[in-house]
Amino acid sequence: MVTFSGKTHRRFRLNQRSTIKLRALQHYAQNWTVQMAASSATLPSAPDSFTKPELLPALDQQDEIGDLARCFEQLLKMLVSSRDEVAHLYEESRKQSAFLTATFQSITDGIIIYDNQGNMVQSNAASEQLLSRTLTPGLSIQERMQLNPLSTLDGKSVAWEDRPSQRSLRESFSNYELSLASSKGLPNLILNYSGGPILDDQGQQWGGVIILRDVTPLKETEARLIAQRAEVMALKESNEVKNHFISVASHQLRTPLTGVMGFAELLTMRQLSPEIVQEYAQDILSSAERMNTLLNEMLNLQRLEAGKVEFRFETVDLGEVVSNLLTSAEFQPCQNIELVVTPLLPRARVDKRQLNQALANLLNNALNYSLPDSPVVIRLTSAGEGLLVAIQDWGRGIPLNNQPHIFERFYRGEAARTSQTPGTGLGLAITQEIIKTHGGKIWFQSVEGRGSTFFFTLPKWL
């Protein structure tokens, strides 16, 4: 007996055989614990120690040692069963992970995943190929900025917060097209981005994902189709213009031709006095001259538009060119044309013959559509990098509904038709082509009943 604190307890004596059994159980418990802790351990189906003859009686022993042995045996069987289940689940998880990884890497669209700080954590092979280099996780902001310099399709730089990686952390988006600069001297890629936040089943944001697709071939095809469509439309418009040209030209030629045929028929069918014959002959000559003028202007306009007219440019004093035109026989009788020249006007480089034709067309229009004795003013000034010519009249002006058509071929406004003012309707179209060939532009301002001012520019010769 042993006495503790005044109480008597029974002394337990373990014989040598029980001590051996306990030590064996302890040894194998430690061994199984180590094996279960090792992820690569292969556990036996049953503990070898329980198959040894000296340990078998412990399982049948009806005391604490037997209970402990049987509990330990049950625990080991449970651990083996759990180990097998865990191993099965691990193998299934590994296969599923391998399948998802293979799928992720085989997708032809680029996929990039970012954490909540905007750091890239994973990308597939397609994204690496599109970005022309291997994307390394954890790149700094500066490294990522240098990695894929992006711009909008109209060439504007994309702000950092508008980049797909940053947008994916705050909103879902799709069809966000950007241009990606190539680091290999190749043409830029056009990428279509989609993306958005990544949320777990609790709605907590884990990061963001973007999907990028190379739409460069599609855009190139679209551009070719647009160009082809524009070409078709241009051909269609050209055919319409040609048909209109032929129709109007035929109409313009029919009038004088009818006069020629009519007067010629009268001359052949009747005995007429010399005075009447002279009058009819003069009418025939006038109609022929009108047809000749019309044909010459049609051919001249056609050659100008086709670039087949040879321009002989020379450096001139523009004021002197205009002054010489006003003193020519065509305008000598006109006393109401005023020329105003800015002092020290720079010289211009022009084809004098063609420029004189353009000036004559504008001056004749100003005179024809002005009231008798109404002044016409020509102003020559310097404007920016060019010379500005303005021809102003205080005549009838151009009605607002006529103004969009004023430079069209054969177009004659209401004033020309009602006043029977001579002309072919080609003068302003020819003038426009001449000014364009000189590198200038032409326009006008007009108020009905108050007159018109036609402007055109010419480059300076420094």
Phi and psi angles of residue 205, each rounded to the nearest 5 degrees, phi first? -80, 130
Neighbour tally for 181: CB within 10 Å: 13
Residue 4 pLDDT grade (very low, low, confident, very high; cuts 50, 70, 90):
very low
Which has more confidence, 289 or 346? 346
pLDDT of residue 14: 47
For 107-214, CATH gives: 3.30.450.20
- Whole-number Cα distances in Å, 115 to 138, 168, 169, 388: 10, 10, 8, 63
pTM score: 0.47
137-173 core/surface letters (b: 16 or more CB in 10 A; e: else): eeeeeeebeeebebeeeeeeebeeeebbbbbbbeeee
Non-local CB neighbours of 64 within 8 Å, separated by 6+ positions: none
Question: CATH 3.30.565.10 region(s) of the chain?
Answer: 314-459
Asked whether the CA dihedral 321, 322, 326, 329 is positive or negative, the reply is positive
Query: What residue spans of 38-121 are helical by DSSP H?
Result: 56-60, 64-106
> Is the pLDDT score of 352 beyond 50?
yes
Does the domain at 221-305 match CATH 1.10.287.130? Answer given as yes
pLDDT at 262 over 90: no
Average the pLDDT over 320-339 and give the result: 82
Read off the pLDDT of residues 131-149 as tens digits, 9 standing for 90 and up. Answer: 765 455 555 544 654 566 7
Q: Which part of the chain is CATH 3.30.450.20? A: 107-214
- The residues pairing with 176 across neighbouring beta strands, listed in sequence order, are 193
**pLDDT tens readout for residues 362-409:** 998 888 888 877 889 999 999 888 899 999 999 888 888 888 888 887
What percent of the chain is predicted at pLDDT more than 70?
71
Query: Is residue 451 over pLDDT 60?
Result: yes
Is a pLDDT exceeding 90 seen at residue 320? yes
Q: Going by CATH, does the domain composed of 314-459 fall within 3.30.565.10?
A: yes
Tell whether the model's pLDDT for residue 72 goes beyond 80.
no
What residue ranges of the chain are covered by domains with CATH 1.10.287.130? 221-305
Distance CA(340)–CA(376), nearest Å, equals 11
CB 214 within 8 A of CB 191: yes
